[in-house]
């Protein structure tokens, strides 16, 4: 059994990590169970940006879906996977291209909620990706949903070179973020408290439109 998961879709900083894991077979009674195999790759941040001179509107065109499929294909090749193996894929949108690629290659796959060993390893791979970009964050803060507000504050602090109330991001750091997000200008070009108010207002307007 193979599993595919992603990490980083909801994080402003960095790209998205795609991880593939071969689940170890069930051991015979009394036998020692060997660990599974894990490999990963990164959909780099430029796929979540619209102002890249090489390919304008890359994020709006959802080219990250093709990039995700390419990363998954490379990971499965490293695992020497074949279409005879069943694949469980996280149901997240960023892996839509992976699921389409699996179908085209003749793999039998099903969408699931990934937990356990793969979820832990792909989150740690994403933590390493962030560290390589210069954004160091503890694994507990990265994965604790109850501290999501603090994690977001840390991201904005990093983006603005240490001052969450700065009126513009550090250009070099912005190049490592998902600047294609509709909410990005709100957080990048306003003091933190004002950005919070504007973001809350935008959420209320969005909820009102959906309820009509």
**Separation CA 70–CA 42 (nearest Å):** 10
Is the entire prediction scored with pTM above 0.85?
Answer: yes
For each of the domains in the chain, give its residue range(s) and CATH number, in order of start. Answer: 2-123 (3.30.420), 145-211 (no CATH)
Token code pair at residue 67 = 């990039």
Residue with tokens 């209320």: 204
5 bridge partner residues = 19
Q: What is the pLDDT tens value at each position of the chain, 212 positions in all?
A: 999 999 999 999 999 999 999 998 774 444 334 568 999 999 999 999 999 888 899 999 999 999 999 999 999 999 999 999 999 999 999 999 999 999 999 999 999 999 999 999 999 999 999 999 999 999 999 999 999 999 999 999 999 999 999 999 999 999 999 999 999 999 999 999 999 999 999 898 878 777 77
């Amino acid at each position: 059994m193979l599993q595919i998961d992603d990490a980083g879709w909801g994080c402003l900083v960095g790209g998205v990590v795609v991880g593939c894991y071969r689940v170890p077979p069930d051991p015979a009674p009394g036998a020692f169970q060997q660990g599974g195999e894990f490999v990963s790759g990164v959909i780099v941040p430029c796929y979540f940006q619209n102002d890249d001179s090489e390919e304008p509107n890359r994020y709006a065109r959802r080219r990250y879906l093709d990039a995700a499929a390419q990363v998954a294909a490379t990971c499965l090749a490293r695992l020497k996977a074949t279409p005879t193996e069943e694949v469980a894929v996280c149901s997240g949108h960023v892996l839509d291209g992976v699921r389409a690629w699996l179908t085209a290659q003749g793999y039998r796959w099903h969408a699931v909620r990934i937990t356990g060993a793969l979820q832990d390893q792909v989150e740690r791979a994403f933590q390493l990706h962030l560290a390589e970009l210069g954004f160091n964050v503890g694994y507990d803060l990265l994965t604790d949903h109850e501290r999501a507000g603090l994690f977001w504050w840390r991201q904005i602090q990093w983006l603005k070179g240490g001052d969450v109330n700065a009126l513009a991001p550090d250009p070099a750091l912005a190049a490592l973020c998902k600047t294609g997000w509709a909410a990005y200008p709100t957080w990048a070009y306003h003091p933190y408290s004002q950005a919070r108010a504007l973001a809350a207002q935008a959420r209320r307007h969005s909820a009102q439109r959906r309820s009509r």
